[in-house]
Amino acid sequence: MSWFIEYYDDSALMIKVKETLFESKGIQHIQIFETAGFGKMLVLDGKIQLTERDESFYHEMLVHVPLFMVDEPKKILVIGGGDGGTVREVLKHNPDEVVMVEIDDTVINACRKYIGIDGGALEDERVTVLIEDGMEYVENCKERFDVVIVDGTDPNPVSESLVKEDFFNNCKRISNIFATQAQSPFIQKEYFIEIYKSIKKAFENYRIYINFVPTYPLGLWSYMIASKNEIEPDYDKIKQRWLERKISTKHYNPDLHVASFALPEWLKKEVKGD
């Protein structure tokens, strides 16, 4: 047994590791561990991306919040998400087409072999997987999507373009609704504010929502949803769609959907002037 430690500022998270299943250094430093209490765990450049035990907390809120705010989400674009969890959740809405753009095919191959949380989603005939840079894809894209979802890593040389205003402007051009993970507003304030300010410049309408993911930095995680149209969670509509689509989840439900938009006072102050 050994310990994996993820450091952030003056704190850290320790998880007991039973075995290293995979490690590769290329575009990113990829590690996959078998842990003692959280199942298999994916780490990119020293940052935990998922554990089997709580990945649903993250993927379900990233996907179902924007998709349940659409009458019929038929065409979805996912930027990043090489582990397959986001596409898995998108397919529960029975779309006609899903495009996933991932820059690092080693992540896809390693996750399918050693973790498998996609449950075969990446092999679904409705899914097209493209190995290319997400920023370049949206710059050159001539199609439109009902929803665009960004499932990216912490901002680093590989993913930093995905938190810039130009990227969000291009996503606005090709989508009706846009959603992205937005880091921890508590322990990663600089990352969160950078994403928030860029989205604020690109979109007329935007909202922050939050959720608890135990193995992410100190547990609190944020997301942002944006659109040309007003964004106002309607509980009755969301509940009706939830019942009609008969989607099975481990974490998400309509009550949590609406509650996630209620922000604590300290976070409201962080974005005061919005």
**Cβ contacts of residue 155 below 8 Å, gap of 6+?**
162, 163, 183, 191, 194
Reported for 126-129, long-range contacts at CB under 8 A and 24+ positions apart, including other chains, are: 126/91, 126/95, 126/96, 126/97, 126/98, 127/87, 127/91, 127/98, 127/99, 127/100, 128/97, 128/98, 128/99, 128/100, 129/100, 129/102
Question: pTM of the prediction?
Answer: 0.96
Parent domain of 34: 2-49
Q: Are residues 18 and 140 in the same domain?
A: no
Overall number of domains in the chain:
2
Q: Are residues 25 and 86 in the same domain?
A: no
Residues that constitute the known binding site for spermidine: 59, 83
Q: Are residues 12 and 121 in the same domain?
A: no
Q: Are residues 22 and 120 in the same domain?
A: no
CATH of the domain at 15: 2.30.140.10
Q: Are residues 36 and 87 in the same domain?
A: no
The backbone torsions φ and ψ at residue 114, rounded to the nearest 5 degrees and listed phi first, read -105, -20
Q: Are residues 91 and 222 in the same domain?
A: yes
Cα–Cα distance list, 263 to 32, 69, 183 (Å): 34, 19, 15
pLDDT at residue 154, as a whole number: 80
Q: Are residues 133 and 13 in the same domain?
A: no
CATH of the domain at 251: 3.40.50.150
Gyration radius of the chain's alpha carbons: 18
Which residue, 49, 69, 87, sits at the end of a domain? 49
Looking only at the bridges linking them, the beta strands covering 11-25 and 205-212 are unpaired
pLDDT at residue 206, as a whole number: 97
Q: Are residues 25 and 130 in the same domain?
A: no
pLDDT at residue 253, as a whole number: 98
Q: Are residues 122 and 243 in the same domain?
A: yes
Tally of CB atoms within 10 A around 204? 12
Q: How far apart are CA 173 and CA 211, in angstroms?
A: 28
Q: Are residues 231 and 184 in the same domain?
A: yes
Q: In the chain, what's the furthest Cα-to-Cα distance?
A: 52
pLDDT at residue 100, as a whole number: 98
Q: Are residues 70 and 142 in the same domain?
A: yes
86, 87, 89, 94: CA torsion to nearest 10: 150
Residues that constitute the known binding site: 28, 59, 83, 102, 133-134
Q: How far apart are CA 253 and CA 65, in angstroms?
A: 9
Question: pLDDT digit of tens for each residue in the chain (274 aa)?
Answer: 899 999 998 999 999 999 999 999 999 999 999 999 999 999 999 999 999 999 999 999 999 999 999 999 999 999 999 999 999 999 999 999 999 999 999 999 999 999 999 999 999 999 999 999 999 999 999 999 999 999 998 876 666 777 788 999 999 999 999 999 999 999 999 999 999 999 999 999 999 999 999 999 999 999 999 999 999 999 999 999 999 999 999 999 999 999 999 999 999 999 986 5
Catalytic residues: 151
Name the helix (H) or strand (E) containing 26: none
Q: Are residues 210 and 255 in the same domain?
A: yes
